[in-house]
Amino acid sequence: MQVEVKSGTDQYTVQQTRLQSVIEQVSSRDMIITDTNVLACYPALSNSKGQIISIPAGEESKSFVQYEAVVEQIFQAGFLRNGTVFAIGGGVVGDLAGFVAATVHRGVRLVQVPTSLLAMVDSSVGGKVGIDLSYGKNLLGSFYNPASVYIDPTVLQTLPTEHFQNGMAEVIKYGWILDVELLEILKKENFSVNSHNLEEIVFRCVALKRDVVEADFTEKSGLRAILNFGHTVGHALEAQAEYKNLLHGQAIAVGMVAEVAIANELGLSQIRTQDVESLFQQYQLPIRPTSYVNIDQLISLMLGDKKSTGNGIAMSLVLEPGQCKLVDNIDPALVRRVLANIWS
Ligand code: GLY
Protein backbone atom coordinates (compact mmCIF):
# COMPACT_ATOMS: atom_id res chain seq x y z
CA MET A 1 0.00 0.00 0.00
CA GLN A 2 1.14 3.53 -0.60
CA VAL A 3 -0.06 7.12 -0.64
CA GLU A 4 1.56 9.96 -2.63
CA VAL A 5 1.67 13.34 -0.92
CA LYS A 6 2.19 16.65 -2.78
CA SER A 7 2.73 19.22 -0.13
CA GLY A 8 4.03 22.75 -0.58
CA THR A 9 6.84 22.39 -3.11
CA ASP A 10 7.59 18.85 -1.94
CA GLN A 11 6.39 15.44 -2.98
CA TYR A 12 6.89 12.21 -1.08
CA THR A 13 5.50 8.72 -0.75
CA VAL A 14 4.13 7.08 2.35
CA GLN A 15 4.72 3.42 1.67
CA GLN A 16 4.40 0.08 3.33
CA THR A 17 7.92 -1.27 3.81
CA ARG A 18 9.47 -3.74 6.24
CA LEU A 19 11.51 -2.12 8.97
CA GLN A 20 14.42 -4.45 8.18
CA SER A 21 14.67 -3.13 4.63
CA VAL A 22 14.69 0.47 5.95
CA ILE A 23 17.53 -0.45 8.31
CA GLU A 24 19.45 -1.83 5.32
CA GLN A 25 19.08 1.53 3.51
CA VAL A 26 20.84 3.47 6.26
CA SER A 27 24.38 4.45 5.19
CA SER A 28 27.39 5.42 7.25
CA ARG A 29 26.63 9.11 6.55
CA ASP A 30 23.20 8.79 8.18
CA MET A 31 21.88 9.16 11.68
CA ILE A 32 19.11 7.11 13.27
CA ILE A 33 17.22 8.92 16.00
CA THR A 34 15.11 6.56 18.08
CA ASP A 35 14.10 5.97 21.69
CA THR A 36 15.03 3.50 24.39
CA ASN A 37 11.85 1.40 23.98
CA VAL A 38 12.17 1.06 20.21
CA LEU A 39 15.87 0.21 20.46
CA ALA A 40 15.09 -2.50 23.05
CA CYS A 41 12.42 -4.00 20.73
CA TYR A 42 14.55 -3.80 17.58
CA PRO A 43 18.19 -4.49 18.47
CA ALA A 44 18.76 -4.91 14.69
CA LEU A 45 18.88 -1.09 14.54
CA SER A 46 22.36 -1.38 16.05
CA ASN A 47 23.48 -3.43 13.04
CA SER A 48 22.75 -0.58 10.61
CA LYS A 49 25.67 1.27 9.04
CA GLY A 50 24.55 4.58 10.54
CA GLN A 51 25.11 6.00 14.00
CA ILE A 52 22.31 5.92 16.56
CA ILE A 53 21.02 8.52 18.98
CA SER A 54 18.56 7.08 21.48
CA ILE A 55 16.39 9.41 23.58
CA PRO A 56 14.41 8.41 26.69
CA ALA A 57 10.95 7.16 25.68
CA GLY A 58 8.03 9.47 26.53
CA GLU A 59 6.53 12.87 25.79
CA GLU A 60 8.89 14.55 28.26
CA SER A 61 11.64 14.03 25.66
CA LYS A 62 9.97 16.46 23.25
CA SER A 63 11.74 19.22 25.14
CA PHE A 64 14.22 22.00 24.54
CA VAL A 65 16.74 20.20 26.77
CA GLN A 66 16.46 16.95 24.77
CA TYR A 67 16.61 18.87 21.47
CA GLU A 68 19.88 20.47 22.58
CA ALA A 69 21.25 17.11 23.74
CA VAL A 70 20.49 15.49 20.36
CA VAL A 71 21.99 18.40 18.41
CA GLU A 72 25.12 18.16 20.56
CA GLN A 73 25.42 14.42 19.82
CA ILE A 74 24.77 14.88 16.12
CA PHE A 75 27.64 17.37 15.77
CA GLN A 76 29.93 15.33 18.00
CA ALA A 77 29.29 12.39 15.66
CA GLY A 78 30.46 14.51 12.69
CA PHE A 79 27.08 14.35 10.91
CA LEU A 80 27.26 16.33 7.64
CA ARG A 81 24.61 17.98 5.50
CA ASN A 82 24.63 15.16 2.92
CA GLY A 83 23.49 12.72 5.62
CA THR A 84 19.89 11.65 6.27
CA VAL A 85 18.12 11.65 9.62
CA PHE A 86 16.03 8.49 10.04
CA ALA A 87 13.38 9.11 12.71
CA ILE A 88 12.49 5.59 13.85
CA GLY A 89 9.88 5.62 16.59
CA GLY A 90 6.60 7.08 17.73
CA GLY A 91 5.31 10.64 17.58
CA VAL A 92 7.81 12.04 20.06
CA VAL A 93 10.78 10.67 18.10
CA GLY A 94 9.30 11.84 14.79
CA ASP A 95 8.56 15.36 16.01
CA LEU A 96 11.88 15.86 17.80
CA ALA A 97 14.06 14.19 15.15
CA GLY A 98 12.13 16.07 12.46
CA PHE A 99 12.85 19.38 14.20
CA VAL A 100 16.51 18.41 14.49
CA ALA A 101 16.58 17.56 10.75
CA ALA A 102 14.84 20.84 9.92
CA THR A 103 17.38 22.94 11.81
CA VAL A 104 20.76 21.17 11.72
CA HIS A 105 22.87 22.59 8.85
CA ARG A 106 19.68 24.59 8.01
CA GLY A 107 17.90 21.41 7.03
CA VAL A 108 18.93 17.89 6.05
CA ARG A 109 17.08 14.99 4.44
CA LEU A 110 14.52 13.40 6.77
CA VAL A 111 12.98 9.93 6.57
CA GLN A 112 10.09 9.19 8.92
CA VAL A 113 9.73 5.59 10.07
CA PRO A 114 6.76 5.59 12.46
CA THR A 115 6.56 2.60 14.80
CA SER A 116 3.44 3.56 16.78
CA LEU A 117 -0.11 3.65 15.47
CA LEU A 118 -0.39 7.32 16.37
CA ALA A 119 2.73 8.22 14.42
CA MET A 120 1.64 6.11 11.42
CA VAL A 121 -1.79 7.69 11.08
CA ASP A 122 -0.92 11.24 12.07
CA SER A 123 2.40 12.70 13.11
CA SER A 124 4.74 11.15 10.52
CA VAL A 125 2.69 12.61 7.64
CA GLY A 126 2.24 16.30 6.93
CA GLY A 127 5.57 17.78 7.96
CA LYS A 128 4.77 19.21 11.37
CA VAL A 129 7.88 18.89 13.54
CA GLY A 130 8.69 20.50 16.85
CA ILE A 131 8.95 20.36 20.60
CA ASP A 132 6.83 21.28 23.62
CA LEU A 133 7.39 24.25 25.91
CA SER A 134 6.01 24.88 29.41
CA TYR A 135 3.77 27.49 27.70
CA GLY A 136 2.10 24.76 25.66
CA LYS A 137 2.48 21.81 23.35
CA ASN A 138 4.27 21.99 19.98
CA LEU A 139 4.91 25.72 20.40
CA LEU A 140 8.42 25.60 18.91
CA GLY A 141 8.66 23.94 15.54
CA SER A 142 8.46 24.07 11.81
CA PHE A 143 6.74 22.65 8.73
CA TYR A 144 9.36 20.33 7.29
CA ASN A 145 8.40 17.54 4.93
CA PRO A 146 10.06 14.15 5.01
CA ALA A 147 11.69 12.76 1.87
CA SER A 148 9.86 9.47 2.53
CA VAL A 149 7.67 7.81 5.12
CA TYR A 150 8.02 4.04 5.59
CA ILE A 151 5.32 2.18 7.48
CA ASP A 152 5.71 -1.42 8.64
CA PRO A 153 2.34 -2.37 10.19
CA THR A 154 3.83 -5.61 11.57
CA VAL A 155 5.79 -3.60 14.14
CA LEU A 156 2.48 -2.71 15.79
CA GLN A 157 2.46 -6.22 17.22
CA THR A 158 5.12 -5.13 19.71
CA LEU A 159 3.15 -2.02 20.71
CA PRO A 160 1.83 -2.06 24.31
CA THR A 161 -2.01 -2.10 24.37
CA GLU A 162 -2.15 1.35 25.97
CA HIS A 163 -0.15 2.80 23.08
CA PHE A 164 -2.33 1.05 20.53
CA GLN A 165 -5.39 2.62 22.18
CA ASN A 166 -3.54 5.95 22.16
CA GLY A 167 -3.28 5.76 18.37
CA MET A 168 -6.92 4.70 18.05
CA ALA A 169 -7.91 8.11 19.46
CA GLU A 170 -6.45 9.76 16.31
CA VAL A 171 -8.09 7.11 14.10
CA ILE A 172 -11.49 7.81 15.71
CA LYS A 173 -10.82 11.54 15.24
CA TYR A 174 -10.57 11.07 11.45
CA GLY A 175 -14.01 9.47 11.52
CA TRP A 176 -15.61 12.40 13.32
CA ILE A 177 -13.97 15.11 11.22
CA LEU A 178 -13.98 13.56 7.75
CA ASP A 179 -15.17 9.99 7.36
CA VAL A 180 -18.49 8.81 8.78
CA GLU A 181 -18.08 5.37 7.20
CA LEU A 182 -14.86 4.92 9.19
CA LEU A 183 -16.84 5.47 12.40
CA GLU A 184 -19.14 2.63 11.46
CA ILE A 185 -16.22 0.32 10.66
CA LEU A 186 -14.57 1.13 13.98
CA LYS A 187 -17.83 0.46 15.81
CA LYS A 188 -18.40 -2.85 14.07
CA GLU A 189 -14.88 -4.25 14.23
CA ASN A 190 -13.06 -4.06 17.47
CA PHE A 191 -9.58 -3.37 16.10
CA SER A 192 -6.55 -4.64 17.95
CA VAL A 193 -2.87 -5.00 17.06
CA ASN A 194 -3.74 -8.44 15.68
CA SER A 195 -6.50 -7.33 13.29
CA HIS A 196 -5.67 -8.58 9.81
CA ASN A 197 -7.05 -5.41 8.17
CA LEU A 198 -5.32 -2.88 10.41
CA GLU A 199 -3.06 -1.69 7.58
CA GLU A 200 -6.15 -0.73 5.55
CA ILE A 201 -7.28 1.52 8.39
CA VAL A 202 -3.77 2.98 8.71
CA PHE A 203 -3.56 3.86 5.00
CA ARG A 204 -7.16 5.10 4.96
CA CYS A 205 -6.18 7.62 7.66
CA VAL A 206 -2.96 8.52 5.82
CA ALA A 207 -5.01 9.25 2.67
CA LEU A 208 -7.44 11.41 4.66
CA LYS A 209 -4.55 13.34 6.14
CA ARG A 210 -2.90 13.66 2.71
CA ASP A 211 -6.05 15.34 1.35
CA VAL A 212 -5.98 17.89 4.17
CA VAL A 213 -2.26 18.71 4.10
CA GLU A 214 -2.21 18.97 0.31
CA ALA A 215 -4.93 21.61 0.53
CA ASP A 216 -3.50 23.55 3.49
CA PHE A 217 0.08 22.53 4.27
CA THR A 218 0.94 25.45 6.55
CA GLU A 219 -2.49 25.72 8.18
CA LYS A 220 -3.21 29.10 6.58
CA SER A 221 -6.78 28.57 5.41
CA GLY A 222 -7.98 26.90 8.61
CA LEU A 223 -8.66 23.59 6.85
CA ARG A 224 -5.68 21.79 8.38
CA ALA A 225 -6.82 22.95 11.80
CA ILE A 226 -9.67 20.42 11.62
CA LEU A 227 -7.03 17.79 12.40
CA ASN A 228 -6.96 19.49 15.78
CA PHE A 229 -10.44 18.40 16.85
CA GLY A 230 -10.18 17.66 20.58
CA HIS A 231 -6.69 19.10 20.67
CA THR A 232 -7.36 22.54 22.22
CA VAL A 233 -8.59 20.88 25.40
CA GLY A 234 -6.26 17.88 24.94
CA HIS A 235 -3.07 19.89 24.53
CA ALA A 236 -3.96 22.03 27.56
CA LEU A 237 -4.48 18.85 29.62
CA GLU A 238 -1.08 17.55 28.50
CA ALA A 239 0.65 20.84 29.33
CA GLN A 240 -1.04 20.98 32.74
CA ALA A 241 0.16 17.42 33.43
CA GLU A 242 3.65 18.62 32.43
CA TYR A 243 3.62 15.98 29.65
CA LYS A 244 3.79 13.18 32.24
CA ASN A 245 1.46 10.23 32.88
CA LEU A 246 -0.98 11.24 30.16
CA LEU A 247 -0.69 9.96 26.60
CA HIS A 248 -1.61 12.29 23.75
CA GLY A 249 -4.42 10.00 22.57
CA GLN A 250 -5.90 9.85 26.06
CA ALA A 251 -5.79 13.65 26.35
CA ILE A 252 -7.47 14.23 22.98
CA ALA A 253 -10.15 11.60 23.66
CA VAL A 254 -11.13 13.60 26.76
CA GLY A 255 -10.75 16.74 24.62
CA MET A 256 -13.03 15.49 21.82
CA VAL A 257 -15.84 14.66 24.25
CA ALA A 258 -15.45 18.09 25.88
CA GLU A 259 -15.33 19.93 22.54
CA VAL A 260 -18.54 18.21 21.38
CA ALA A 261 -20.23 19.47 24.56
CA ILE A 262 -18.85 22.97 23.85
CA ALA A 263 -20.10 22.88 20.22
CA ASN A 264 -23.53 21.86 21.51
CA GLU A 265 -23.53 24.68 24.06
CA LEU A 266 -22.63 27.14 21.27
CA GLY A 267 -25.60 25.84 19.27
CA LEU A 268 -23.27 24.64 16.48
CA SER A 269 -24.04 20.95 16.76
CA GLN A 270 -26.53 18.48 18.16
CA ILE A 271 -24.25 15.45 18.49
CA ARG A 272 -25.09 13.42 21.56
CA THR A 273 -22.01 13.27 23.77
CA GLN A 274 -22.89 9.62 24.57
CA ASP A 275 -22.37 8.77 20.88
CA VAL A 276 -18.85 10.19 21.02
CA GLU A 277 -18.10 8.61 24.38
CA SER A 278 -19.17 5.10 23.42
CA LEU A 279 -16.51 4.64 20.72
CA PHE A 280 -13.76 5.88 23.04
CA GLN A 281 -15.02 3.51 25.73
CA GLN A 282 -15.02 0.65 23.21
CA TYR A 283 -11.29 1.33 22.68
CA GLN A 284 -10.61 1.78 26.42
CA LEU A 285 -9.88 5.48 26.10
CA PRO A 286 -10.81 7.95 28.86
CA ILE A 287 -13.74 10.31 28.36
CA ARG A 288 -13.08 12.48 31.45
CA PRO A 289 -9.80 13.55 33.10
CA THR A 290 -8.53 10.77 35.33
CA SER A 291 -6.76 13.09 37.78
CA TYR A 292 -7.35 16.55 39.26
CA VAL A 293 -7.62 19.35 36.70
CA ASN A 294 -7.35 23.07 37.44
CA ILE A 295 -9.89 24.45 34.96
CA ASP A 296 -8.74 28.09 35.35
CA GLN A 297 -5.18 27.12 34.45
CA LEU A 298 -6.53 25.04 31.58
CA ILE A 299 -8.38 28.10 30.23
CA SER A 300 -5.13 30.15 30.31
CA LEU A 301 -3.34 27.39 28.42
CA MET A 302 -6.16 27.23 25.84
CA LEU A 303 -5.96 31.00 25.32
CA GLY A 304 -2.28 30.46 24.36
CA ASP A 305 -3.04 27.59 21.95
CA LYS A 306 -1.37 27.86 18.53
CA LYS A 307 -4.73 28.22 16.77
CA SER A 308 -5.68 31.22 18.87
CA THR A 309 -5.64 34.67 17.24
CA GLY A 310 -6.03 36.53 20.51
CA ASN A 311 -9.81 36.59 20.43
CA GLY A 312 -11.09 34.12 22.98
CA ILE A 313 -10.45 30.41 22.58
CA ALA A 314 -10.07 28.68 19.19
CA MET A 315 -11.30 25.11 18.70
CA SER A 316 -11.90 22.83 15.74
CA LEU A 317 -15.49 21.78 16.33
CA VAL A 318 -17.47 18.98 14.73
CA LEU A 319 -20.76 20.37 13.41
CA GLU A 320 -22.08 16.98 12.38
CA PRO A 321 -20.35 13.63 11.96
CA GLY A 322 -17.78 13.97 9.16
CA GLN A 323 -17.85 17.78 9.16
CA CYS A 324 -15.51 19.96 11.21
CA LYS A 325 -14.66 23.67 11.27
CA LEU A 326 -12.23 25.95 13.10
CA VAL A 327 -14.18 28.29 15.39
CA ASP A 328 -12.38 31.28 16.90
CA ASN A 329 -13.38 33.75 19.56
CA ILE A 330 -15.14 31.30 21.88
CA ASP A 331 -15.95 32.90 25.20
CA PRO A 332 -13.62 31.45 27.91
CA ALA A 333 -16.48 31.74 30.44
CA LEU A 334 -18.62 29.41 28.30
CA VAL A 335 -15.78 26.90 28.00
CA ARG A 336 -15.21 27.09 31.74
CA ARG A 337 -18.89 26.50 32.47
CA VAL A 338 -19.14 23.48 30.13
CA LEU A 339 -15.97 21.84 31.47
CA ALA A 340 -17.01 22.40 35.08
CA ASN A 341 -20.38 20.86 34.26
CA ILE A 342 -19.24 17.75 32.38
CA TRP A 343 -16.27 17.04 34.64
CA SER A 344 -18.10 17.56 37.97
N1 GLY B 1 -1.49 16.56 13.86
C2 GLY B 1 -2.15 17.65 13.28
C3 GLY B 1 -1.54 18.09 12.00
O4 GLY B 1 -0.68 17.44 11.46
O5 GLY B 1 -1.91 19.13 11.51
pLDDT, tens digit, 9 for 90 and up, residues 17-67: 999 999 999 999 999 999 999 999 999 999 999 999 999 999 899 999 999
Please report which helix (H) or strand (E) contains residue 200, including its range.
Answer: helix 198-215
CATH of 2-158 among 3.30.565.10, 3.40.640.10, 1.10.3720.10, 3.40.50.1970? 3.40.50.1970
3-state secondary structure of 133: strand
Give ligand 1 pocket residues (Cβ under 6 A): 122, 126, 128, 224, 227-228
pLDDT, tens digit, 9 for 90 and up, residues 262-304: 999 999 999 999 999 999 999 999 999 999 999 999 999 999 9
Dihedral sign computed on CA atoms, order 77, 82, 83, 85: positive
Spacing, Cα 344 to ligand 1 middle (Å): 30
Mutation choice for ligand 1 from 5, 95, 122, CB with most ligand atoms inside 8 A:
122
Report d(CA 196, CA 198) in Å as an integer: 6
3-state secondary structure of 25: helix
- Mean pLDDT score across all residues of the chain: 96
pLDDT, tens digit, 9 for 90 and up, residues 129-172: 999 998 888 999 999 999 999 999 999 998 999 999 999 999 99
Spacing, Cα 126 to ligand 1 middle (Å): 7
**Residue nearest ligand 1's atom 2 by CA:** 227
Residue ranges of the chain assigned to CATH 3.40.50.1970: 2-158
- At 81, the amino acid letter reads R
pLDDT score for 276 = 96
Q: What percent of the chain has pLDDT over 70?
A: 100
For the domain made up of 161-342, give the CATH fold: Dehydroquinate synthase-like, alpha domain (1.20.1090)
